[in-house]
Amino acid sequence: MKPINVGLLGIGTVGGGTFTVLKRNEEEITRRAGRPIRITAVADKNLELARSVTGGDVRLTDDAFSVVTDPEIDIVVELIGGYGIAKELVLKAIENGKHVVTANKALLAVHGNEIFAAAQKKGVMVAFEAAVAGGIPIIKALREGLSANRIQWIAGIINGTTNFILSEMRDKGLPFAEVLKEAQRLGYAEADPTFDIEGVDAAHKATLMASIAFGVPVQFDKAYVEGITKLEAADIKYAEQLGYRIKLLGIARRRPQGIELRVHPTLIPEKRLIANVEGAMNAVLVQGDAVGATLYYGKGAGAEPTASAVIADLVDVTRLHTADPEHRVPHLAFQPDQIAEVRVLPIEEVETSYYLRLRVLDKPGVLADITRILADQSISIDAMLQREPEEGESQTDIIILTHLTIEGNVDTAIAKIESLDSVTGQVTRLRLENL
């Protein structure tokens, strides 16, 4: 059987892992795919690196466009990242009738609709298992394994850097800035960690999962995104005392009036499995109406875990290479003409529970004022923790957990609470999900 020829764009961490695993497991992969899958061309600006990884047995070039236009190449694997040149290369590959495998969640979350439409028109596939949660086959589970279900919600720890930082803050009681430095030293965080710590990376991934789960266009621009940079060690400690862990979650939930699409630090009951995912690991919890809750756990990054997902896509595309385009699995799980325009709810309309931390003067009547404001906004209290003031201190912390309520009501209540003379500084607000 004629081998499938692959052009690899970018031979950094994941590209190198893909080359290594494909070579190491060549026999197994061929038996699964039905024909050999060979990387025959590699494009990278660093030709020295490319030569050291490949041993020079493949065509090496620093011109990626020569790979996407090469008539000998069947599948292009894009591992460059970013929105710029990667987008041009992917669209050029599609225009030249190549199938595309990519790990580029940023590109697909922002330009996915355009890319999938171009691929549909040309009759080629764009596979992106490696774009979400590294080696965990969550895209395949959502797109195929759970296709009997009406998916109700997804909640995922889908960024290993932030999960590592939160685990360290909890274990060692250290402030965010100190743990970030340690994460950078260990290689878990980039020199510029903005995309990770501000929640952008997780929001790219949540956007893609929401589209597949609910059959809606990718709409990253409508996601609510909040990172972990303002999270204080005190809140992690108080959450623990109340029986919760704080995780950065990507959440997509179906509501009668639209869908919620949000990323933010979230309190989760400590007895939930997902609350116990530590270090740089990823986990995604999916609730379907027929199957109930299913949990997917594993390494969300790294050379070989991500390469595992890239190669799984290569095997899939190879198997379906000659199939009638009409009978392939659609990019976003639903047939292209069945993708529905559904409203993404603004954060003020989201319904969840809340953790509120208030710094107050230690005097009578303070609690009564606060509870009256909450009651006026139809916010009921689930649990409360009031600290004794430190010796010689005139202020103390009050922690309130609420039942389900609308975010807009919480905004109004917080503004009124902050205007009380007995409340000092700003109210800390975190969202809480019982999952």
Do the annotations mark residue 14 as ligand-binding? yes
Rounded Cα–Cα distance for residues 203 and 191 (Å): 20
Closest to 431 in 3D by CA, of 320, 335, 352:
352
The single-letter code of the amino acid at 403 is H
Compute the chain's Rg from CA coordinates. Answer: 24
Do the annotations mark residue 15 as ligand-binding? yes
DSSP symbols for 251-302: EEEEETTEEEEEEEEEEEETTSGGGG--TTEEEEEEEETTTEEEEEEEE-SS
205 tagged catalytic: yes
Do the annotations mark residue 425 as ligand-binding? no
DSSP symbols for 33-70: HSS-EEEEEEE-S-HHHHHHHHTT-SEEES-HHHHHT-
- Residue 325 half-sphere exposure toward CB, CA atoms < 13 A: 13
Tokens for 260, please give them: 């919620």
Name the strand (E) or helix (H) holding 180. helix 176-185
Do the annotations mark residue 45 as ligand-binding? no
Closest to 17 in 3D by CA, of 53, 61, 60, 41:
53
Q: What is the longest distance spanned by two Cα atoms in the chain?
A: 83
Tokens for 32, please give them: 């699964």
Name the strand (E) or helix (H) holding 225. strand 224-225
**Residue of 87, 98, 140, 205 marked catalytic:** 205
Plot region of 260 (φ>0 → left; ψ -120 to 50 → alpha; else → beta): beta
Report helix, strand or coil for 85: helix
Do the annotations mark residue 12 as ligand-binding? yes
Do the annotations mark residue 190 as ligand-binding? yes
The single-letter code of the amino acid at 234 is A
Name the strand (E) or helix (H) holding 406. strand 405-406
Do the annotations mark residue 371 as ligand-binding? no
Entry field: residues in the chain: 435
Rounded Cα–Cα distance for residues 69 and 76 (Å): 10
Do the annotations mark residue 10 as ligand-binding? yes
**Residues 370, 412: contact at Cβ < 8 Å?**
no
Binding site for NADPH, by residue number, is 105
Binding site, by residue number, is 9-16, 105, 190
Residues with active-site annotation: 205
Binding site for L-homoserine, by residue number, is 190
Binding site for NADP(+), by residue number, is 9-16
